[in-house]
Amino acid sequence: MPNVKIELCSNCHYRKKPFSYTLARQPLCRICSLEYERVCKICHKKFPAGFGRICPNCHYEKTFKHRVGLYSLSYSHWVKQYFINFSYWLKKRRGALYATMYLHKYQTYFSEIDALAQKIQALPTYEQLLNTISDATHKKNYLIHLYLDEVGFLKLDKHLTDKYANYYLIQKYLKSFEENTLEYKILHGYYHFLVLRLKENKTTLRSIRFALTPAIKFLQYCQNFKDTTPTANALEGYLFLYYGQRASLTGFINFLSKNYKYNLDIKSIPKAVLKRPRVSHQILKGRLIKVMQNPHDKHFKEPYIFRTIIGYLHWVYVPQNVFISLKNVHKYKNGKYYLSLCGQAFYIPDKVVEYLTNR
């Protein structure tokens, strides 16, 4: 059986077998060729015949009403009418097509609100919602919050929103390491230290989140070395790569020195300075050629490759204690890649990023 050619009808825009062509050689399906236009049975407006017996807008309107009625059956009396009213509010705000296609996504969030309402036998407050449902879920359903605030169901509070957003992020950060590991104990010890300062009104929840971020990154960075405990050597390399984190990391380094007896003093770490490579440009060129000619050689680790590329292309020396990986490469809006060292951006060719990605 010969292959049937399927094309996009130039009138109804459905993919069908062409029946005829316009003078401009645009394909038309069989129905559009014979009738071209029809009158909608509901709104009596003309529309492309290939759509059927009712126009697209009436079709979406009909489907929308059906779905609202069907979805609302799953809710208790606490939430049912709010869901129905929100559905029509959404249709008025975004149109019948959007409301019909995406109503099921908002239905899921209303189901969570309904479950909480049935549990407490009352309409939940904004704080109860934030305390029960994850922050990521709230952000995806901002339109629901906006509607519920308009009708008086909830009273949006930016202070509470920020508070719980920081709380959920902190809980996520605390799971960065496996239990019973040294890094886990250090991180949780630092967190409890910060919580005590919070109770004394010496810090805020937001500041705790900002303090934990560089602490986690530094502990993860230390795992790249044979001695995974925090050392001055690792700290110096870390500050070379993350130049702007010296101030935000100071509190954590002081905590390590005081509570874990590590010989660390961030003031004794000199500020990173860019220097020229210790080998000639010709040697760096030879190393780079050898790396590119052997893409599957696992002896060439990412730090070595980046050290060679930065040295050859930018004539900058990268110390041995600086562990660079593909995760440290960022992308500009124009699609170009770069690597940040000592607060300076260094261009990385697209082919190098492709080469490392496909290894």
Tell me the C-alpha distance between 67 and 87, whole Å: 10
Structure tokens at 348: 């990385």
Characterise 320 by phi-psi region: left (phi > 0), alpha (psi -120 to 50), beta (else).
alpha
Per-residue pLDDT of the chain (359 residues; tens, 9 = 90+): 456 677 888 888 788 888 888 888 888 888 888 888 888 888 888 888 888 888 888 888 889 999 999 999 999 999 999 999 999 999 999 888 899 889 998 999 999 999 999 999 988 888 888 888 887 787 888 888 889 888 888 888 888 888 888 999 999 999 999 998 999 999 999 999 999 999 999 999 999 999 999 999 999 999 998 888 999 999 999 999 999 899 999 999 999 999 988 888 898 888 888 999 989 999 999 998 998 888 788 888 899 999 999 999 999 999 999 999 999 999 998 989 999 999 899 999 998 888 888 87
> What are all long-range contacts of 216-221, with beta carbons under 8 Å and residues at least 24 apart?
216/173, 216/176, 216/187, 217/242, 217/245, 218/249, 218/252, 219/176, 219/177, 219/183, 219/186, 219/187, 220/176, 220/183, 221/323
Domain residue limits, the chain: 7-53, 57-156, 172-268, 281-357
**What are the φ and ψ backbone dihedral angles of 233, each rounded to 5 degrees?**
-65, -45
Buried b (16+ CB within 10 A) or exposed e, 71-105: bbeebeebbbebbeebbebbbeeeebbebbeebee
Picking from 193, 163, 190, 162, the residue whose alpha carbon sits closest to that of residue 177 is 190
Long-range contacts formed by 126-135: CB under 8 A, 24+ apart: 126/154, 126/155, 126/156, 126/157, 126/160, 127/157, 127/160, 129/154, 130/160, 130/161, 130/163, 130/164, 131/164, 133/109, 134/168, 135/164, 135/165, 135/168, 135/169
Per-residue pLDDT reduced to its tens digit, 175-186: 999 998 999 999
Sheet holding 337-341, edge to edge: 329-331, 337-341, 344-348
Strand partners, 347: 338
Residue 192 in contact with residue 203, Cβ under 8 Å?
no
- The number of beta carbons lying within 10 Å of the beta carbon of residue 269 is 18
- Which residue intervals of the chain are DSSP H helices? 30-34, 56-72, 80-94, 96-120, 126-132, 135-140, 142-150, 158-173, 182-199, 205-222, 232-241, 246-259, 281-293, 302-314, 350-357
pLDDT digits (tens, 9 = 90+) for 247-257: 999 999 999 99
Token pair, residue 152, equals 């008086």
